[in-house]
Structure 1
Amino acid sequence: MLSEIASKLTEGVKPTTDAERVFYEALQVLRDYLARSDIEDKLKKLEDIRLVEEEGKTFILIPDVMTYIQASGRTSRMFAGGLTKGLSIVVVDDDHLLKGLIKRSKWIIDDIEWRELKEVDLKSILAEIDRDRLVVKQLREGKIRVEFKDPMKTALMVVESPNKARTIANFFGKPSVRRYDELKVYEVSTGELLLMITASGGHIYDLVTDVGYHGVLLPKDAGTFLPVYSAIRRCLNCGYQFSDDLDKCPKCGSSQLRNALKILDFIRTLCEEVDLVLIGTDPDTEGEKIGWDLAALLTPYAKEVKRIEFHEVTKRAILEALKSTRDFDTNLVEAQIVRRVEDRWIGFELSKRLWSAFKRKGLSAGRVQTPVLGWIIDREREFKESFRNVYSVFLPYGIKLELIEDEVTEKPIIIEQVKAKIRVLDILEEDVHPPPPYTTDTYLHDASRKLGLTAPEAMQIAQDLFELGFITYHRTDSTRVSTFGQYVAKEYLSEKFGNQAEELYLPRNWGEAGAHECIRPTRPMDVNRVRELIAEGIITPIKPLTKKHLLTYDMIFKRFIASQMKPAKVVKQKMEINVLGTSKIVERIIEIKEPGFLTINPILKVEVKVEEGEVKPLKIDVKRKALVTLYTHGDVIKLMKERGIGRPSTYAKIVQTLIQRGYVMETKRKKLLPTKLGKSVYRYLASKYGDLVSEKRTAMLEDIMDQIERGERNYVEVLNKLYREISSIP
């Protein structure tokens, strides 16, 4: 179809279909732009394309990177002993096009490295190529046998998300796909492995409810605390998940259920086909437990099971993970077991009491959600008590002062008679340092404040960006930047600013070495470049990026790149303003001497310099306003981080649970308000079980979980203490 339209365009045939008309209109727009001299000048200045004229016609030459990658890949071949050595030599007749080819190839292949011919030992490379070719020839002639490498080493990688499985598979060419009903497994070659990739869909098992003490056999029955698990069933009608052995959804009664055992059976059959099973669940405590469950269930069917861990979904990270397999960290698994059991015990026990007290099922309580509910209730009370008459005084130079009525000793009767006196106290230079890159809590706070996203919405968008390979793992409390992260920032600045990049780049670790890293982009591509590459088809996300995805990526990208740049030097003006019988100290930035990180992330506002003297107000408004604002999702998550309750994996869920239970409502302006039910539930819990659900107690338990993760506490002893505490609730 496209070739037919192209032929008609060339011949000047009039369009007859809607598709042809779209192409004709696009061609006309393009011709109109190219006819403009300013557009032509801009195209000529671009470093990665070339504008040329031949025989009176203008051509735009753009490097075809996909064809180059395909062609250069043909210099190497897979054979029984692995891969033959290949060599690609690019003969350069245009520096602009070479720059474009190098730049575009790096967008597709993270670790590609280009070298000038004089920098390599061409003789030894050709000798290695000849040796490989000789081996292939002798193999074909039957003169030698390959004994140094197993040509059929196979592995199965199990990840949580189908999107992630597909993204990883696409790193290694076009995968073949096998289907079992709605389940899929992708098959690719990494050069070292014949790799199958599939998804578990997250948790396979959860605690049952009808055995032992809320799903846990006690020492008197089993000799120790023994959690009892069953496969998770998900209702296809209402989405409710449960682990009890039921044929119908306990919530809506539907018999349309999806049993996780079906997924497990599929994965077990795949295990029998491979030499090695690799569990690639998320790199956190919850992911370790999901992976450990999978390993326990798959081990009888597999020759070998190993854990792999990656913090970004890129080809480079996946290949590194494949080379760095490990055993499961039982400390992390035990900490997650304690967390889940404790959630179950305290939740079930307090919920039963709520149902009885309020004669209403569906109410719930928990160690984290209860103190958070208390914060929201306290904040609403402070909000209501903070209303005052506030004088908003608008002065020249864009100055706005807000004065509480109690501060105003000279009430304005006629605005023309009011005067404000400005006295400049100081003009000083300051260094303003960039904020660190995002962690989960700071990301959610800004996503709420800047983009108006709820916490669950922001986490889902970040999950998508992670699984599609655009950002690193988003559930993290670390600001650490890896060496590769610093390389991403340096590459971007070098491409954008050329030789000036050295004046802007200042690498920072932002934290001690450890397993986790900050939230950052995986490649040196800003949001405009991402849009461009998607439009050109150079990168093809398996899930479409929405406006919210792009805005979120832009926010993460700018914050990270700025964190690797030099401070800004600004000039501040400090002044005292006397008006309506009171004085206020005001500081304003009046000049940016060296923009530093503000070049990328302009978070500061520059205002005009104020002249000392007497001025008349432009306007004075008096309104009744609250001096304390209601909390947003982001505010609550920031508090959770500061006060040491909750986890990166649970921050977003807590407020959402409170809303779903009817304890909290969200206003049109994204503010959180407690409901009458929420206040009643909190009063009941705080008065009767305050020691169990207090903020202090919750923070202490979080610390105990951390100790278990570090191997400093025995998890059985912790469970025993928790059981004695919870089972004694009156």
Structure 2
Amino acid sequence: MSKTLVIVESPAKAKSISKFLGSRYTVKASMGHLRDLPKSQLGVDIEHDFEPKYIAIRGRGDLIKDLRAAAKSADKVFLASDPDREGEAIAWHLSHLLGLNQGDKNRIEFHEITKQAIQAAIKHPRQIDQDRVDAQQARRVLDRLVGYQLSPLLWRKIKKGLSAGRVQSVAVRLVDDREEEIRAFVSEEYWSLTANLQSAGGTFLAKLVKKSGKKLSISSRVEMENVLAELMGKEFQVSEVRTKEKKKLPAPPFITSSLQQEAHRKLGFSPKRTMMLAQQLYEGLDLGKEGTVGLITYMRTDSVKIADTAQAEAKEWILSHYGNEYYPSEPRQFANKGRAQEAHEAIRPTAALRTPEMLKGILSRDQLRLYRLIWERFIASQMSVAIMDTLTVEISVEDYLFRANTSTVRFPGFLAVYEEGNDAGESADDEQNSLTLSVSAGEKLSLIKLQEKQHFTEPPPRYTEASLVRKMEEEGIGRPSTYAPTIETIQTRGYVVKEEKQLLPTELGDIVISLLKEHFPDILNLEFTANLEEKLDLVEEGNAPWKSVVGDYYGPFSVTLAEADEKIGKVKIEDQVSEELCENCGRNMVIKMGRYGKFLACPGFPECRNTKPLFEEVGAKCPTCSKPLVVRRSKKGRKFFGCLGYPECAFVSWEMPAPEPCPECQQLMVIKSSKRQKKHVCTNPECRFTKVIEEA
């Protein structure tokens, strides 16, 4: 009886796949890459057409030996690494390590870990796609050339331990540019005026929008008082009533970037956490009687294509739970953007009939939350459009025009299952008003109240991890597999920190980006980086030789590198001196920035290596012992607030403490902010006194 060896990347995937194959098959895991460029040297022969030098990864010797023995005793070997460039490269490296014939059809590919998909893949093996491998090699070599030649320059000019990456540096630049916009922003005053009106059908609100047919802008209290004076005693009359039907299409099923953004908005997950949970759902989880089953399709994709079988399952579920009117006249497909992988699918459940409710008590809380998000988004994508009735009422007051809008759902369609979030974390629909169709043109209205309000324009918001993913996708920076690790890397390296879910450049990040902007403009140029991504796509499509792409990039880069080495002087980062004295040597300690924020360090390093936390007081007292509350960070870098007296006093709060205690019970109050208002809320569950500080 012939024996077949199947090699996948992870033990979890191996366990899932073993279930679908008979006793003739042995499934083993490579644990990712087994061969790579050496860490201790450049590993790329620049003089000989960028030939890479691959070596076995340290610590993987026993695993390679085990796989070689298994391959030698098997009649057939199938390489079943992930269905993307990285997975193709892993298969290619494995074929070399195991001495397989490069012309053999020993590569199998699947986008979901189900019995049907695995058995179909086994029946249709193919040769390793050398073009896809070459695209990965080009990226790997380019990143090595930039990282290993630019980083030592930063060591010499700024400080040791710094590193620069081709994609990571652009991501830091985006964060840094946004911070510059915020610093340069000049706030401008403007005013709004809302009329509370009484009609025959009830009361409603209308906003002042025009004067004499032109958009009205009120920029000061004086201008507002002039408007109010002109409106005093005047008649409000309905000049026009417009009704309109509006159809709302469902969002497409998830791709990598949209999943990361929506999971951040709705579930509060970082891109890294989203991808970790998605990997678990993809590779398979033990469902009891069913055994280990892959619950979603491959999660690194930029394609919104859906398989016919999945659409048929979605149709069955929709018809049985909602009826014919909730299903469109024909299955809905979505168009891919740009160079999306047509062979790939969107992220969807492997079985649409496996509802989130069926997995309660089986999946962890966060696994279930992410599965529910993916399942609902996919089901909704296959449902009928939502039909909205919009009503616009225009009210004339001599030369002034007020307008009121409202929309109501006539037919929910896909909204019965799912509605896409936005970055504010709220519905993107119009603000609801109590308008009714009983308002009629020519009707005279009674003015209940005019409410003027002062506003100030706000700077552009800082990036969150989700909005940075969207920006990178829009600009063509990186690919689905690189978004999460890139954002993780720029924080790990101390170039960017996360505060209240927002990304800010550190002083170090600012210095590095300023230096790169001046001397390596191409590396930080968004269009240049996006064009390089397109060239890598051309390599994958077989339309460009990979070494030529590397050569076209490296030629100008090497010239710039040599020039920069001569031009750049030593950049001194001045440490801020604190009043805290080092208890070991008596020097004034200095403030430094680390991965988890600022800390105190002795300037006598390396003779004195003393460090200690730098506590930032928040202006509130501990409710337990009355010592100051300070900013602390968890092991994962999350900010929280704790007592300065720790560990004697263990009080902590995840929410920002308010400066004053509760006036009712004297307990701690915390600051809660939303898009609409900022308030102080008492933490005492028996009190819960609330004080609104600021209306938006």
Fold similarity call, TM over 0.5: yes
Q: State the shift of 1:345 in Å.
A: 0.4
Match of residue 490 from structure 2: 658
Task: Give the whole-Å Cα distance in 1 for the aligned partners of 2:152 and 2:546.
Answer: 26
Amino acid at match of 1:480: K
Query: Quick check: 1:634 aligned with 2:501?
Result: no
Alignment equivalent of 2:96, drawn from 268, 289, 296: 296
Task: Give the whole-Å Cα distance in 2 for the aligned partners of 1:402 and 1:552.
Answer: 43
Q: State the shift of 1:550 in Å.
A: 1.6
Query: Quick check: 1:689 aligned with 2:689?
Result: no
Match of residue 383 from structure 1: 182
TM-align CA RMSD? 3.4
Query: Quick check: 1:205 aligned with 2:35?
Result: yes
Query: Quick check: 1:556 aligned with 2:374?
Result: yes
- Would you say how many aligned residue pairs link Structure 1 and Structure 2? 515
Q: State the shift of 1:322 in Å.
A: 0.8
Q: State the shift of 1:289 in Å.
A: 0.3
Alignment equivalent of 1:673, drawn from 487, 504, 512: 504
SS of the residue 2:13 aligns to: helix
Considering fraction of residues, name the structure with more helix.
1
Q: State the shift of 1:712 in Å.
A: 0.6
Q: 2:172, 2:513 within 8 Å by CA — same for their partners in 1?
A: yes
Q: State the shift of 1:447 in Å.
A: 1.5
SS of the residue 2:468 aligns to: helix
Q: 1:471, 1:521 within 8 Å by CA — same for their partners in 2?
A: yes
Task: Give the whole-Å Cα distance in 2 for the aligned partners of 1:602 and 1:226.
Answer: 50
Q: 1:279, 1:305 within 8 Å by CA — same for their partners in 2?
A: no
Query: Quick check: 1:477 aligned with 2:302?
Result: yes
Task: Give the whole-Å Cα distance in 1 for the aligned partners of 2:356 and 2:520.
Answer: 53
Task: Give the whole-Å Cα distance in 1 for the aligned partners of 2:173 and 2:533.
Answer: 18
Q: 2:491, 2:497 within 8 Å by CA — same for their partners in 1?
A: yes
Pair 567,229 (structure 1): closer, same or farther in 2 beyond 3 Å: same
Match of residue 706 from structure 1: 537
SS of the residue 1:406 aligns to: coil
Cα deviation, 1:604-656, whole Å, max 9, x if unaligned, reads 65835415645546976656562522111111111111111210010112221
Amino acid at match of 1:674: P
Q: 2:189, 2:220 within 8 Å by CA — same for their partners in 1?
A: no
Q: State the shift of 1:450 in Å.
A: 1.9
Q: 1:153, 1:275 within 8 Å by CA — same for their partners in 2?
A: yes
Pair 157,391 (structure 1): closer, same or farther in 2 beyond 3 Å: farther
Match of residue 139 from structure 2: 339
Task: Give the whole-Å Cα distance in 2 for the aligned partners of 1:411 and 1:589.
Answer: 32
Pair 411,349 (structure 1): closer, same or farther in 2 beyond 3 Å: farther
Alignment equivalent of 2:392, drawn from 574, 599, 603: 574
Q: How does 1:110-259 map to 2 (within 5 A)?
A: 152-169=1-18, 171-172=19-20, 189=22, 194-211=24-41, 214-220=42-48, 224-233=49-58, 259=59
Task: Give the whole-Å Cα distance in 1 for the aligned partners of 2:193 and 2:268.
Answer: 29
Q: 1:276, 1:303 within 8 Å by CA — same for their partners in 2?
A: no
Amino acid at match of 2:28: T
SS of the residue 2:73 aligns to: coil
Cα deviation, 1:165-221, whole Å, max 9, x if unaligned, reads 11222x34xxxxxxxxxxxxxxx51xxx6111111111112211445xx1112445x
Amino acid at match of 1:708: V
Query: Quick check: 1:428 aligned with 2:227?
Result: no
Q: How does 1:643-654 map to 2 (within 5 A)?
A: 643-654=475-486
Pair 379,720 (structure 1): closer, same or farther in 2 beyond 3 Å: closer
Alignment equivalent of 1:450, drawn from 240, 251, 266: 266
Pair 370,582 (structure 1): closer, same or farther in 2 beyond 3 Å: farther
Cα deviation, 1:328-380, whole Å, max 9, x if unaligned, reads 0000001111100000101122211111111x222222232222222212222
Task: Give the whole-Å Cα distance in 1 for the aligned partners of 2:208 and 2:149.
Answer: 49
Pair 429,519 (structure 1): closer, same or farther in 2 beyond 3 Å: same
Q: 2:83, 2:110 within 8 Å by CA — same for their partners in 1?
A: yes
Q: 2:191, 2:220 within 8 Å by CA — same for their partners in 1?
A: no
Cα deviation, 1:470-501, whole Å, max 9, x if unaligned, reads 1111111111111122123113223423x537
Alignment equivalent of 2:359, drawn from 528, 531, 552: 531
Amino acid at match of 1:517: E
Q: Say which is worse superposed, 557-566 or 360-369, in terms of deviation.
A: 360-369
Amino acid at match of 1:561: I
Query: Quick check: 1:406 aligned with 2:250?
Result: no
- Amino-acid identity (%): 34
Q: 1:271, 1:301 within 8 Å by CA — same for their partners in 2?
A: no
Match of residue 264 from structure 1: 64
Alignment equivalent of 1:565, drawn from 373, 383, 394: 383
Query: Quick check: 1:357 aligned with 2:175?
Result: no
Match of residue 10 from structure 1: none
SS of the residue 2:522 aligns to: coil
Q: 1:288, 1:328 within 8 Å by CA — same for their partners in 2?
A: yes
Q: 2:34, 2:90 within 8 Å by CA — same for their partners in 1?
A: yes
Q: Which runs of 5+ in 2 are unaligned?
A: 197-202, 210-216, 285-293, 421-426, 440-444, 563-696
Q: State the shift of 1:158 in Å.
A: 0.9
Considering fraction of residues, name the structure with more strand.
2
Query: Quick check: 1:372 aligned with 2:372?
Result: no
Q: 1:456, 1:653 within 8 Å by CA — same for their partners in 2?
A: yes
Match of residue 465 from structure 1: 281
| TM-score where L is the length of structure 2 | 0.67
Alignment equivalent of 2:343, drawn from 515, 518, 522: 515
Pair 599,424 (structure 1): closer, same or farther in 2 beyond 3 Å: farther
SS of the residue 2:36 aligns to: strand
Amino acid at match of 2:10: S
Cα deviation, 1:452-477, whole Å, max 9, x if unaligned, reads 21111111121111112111111111
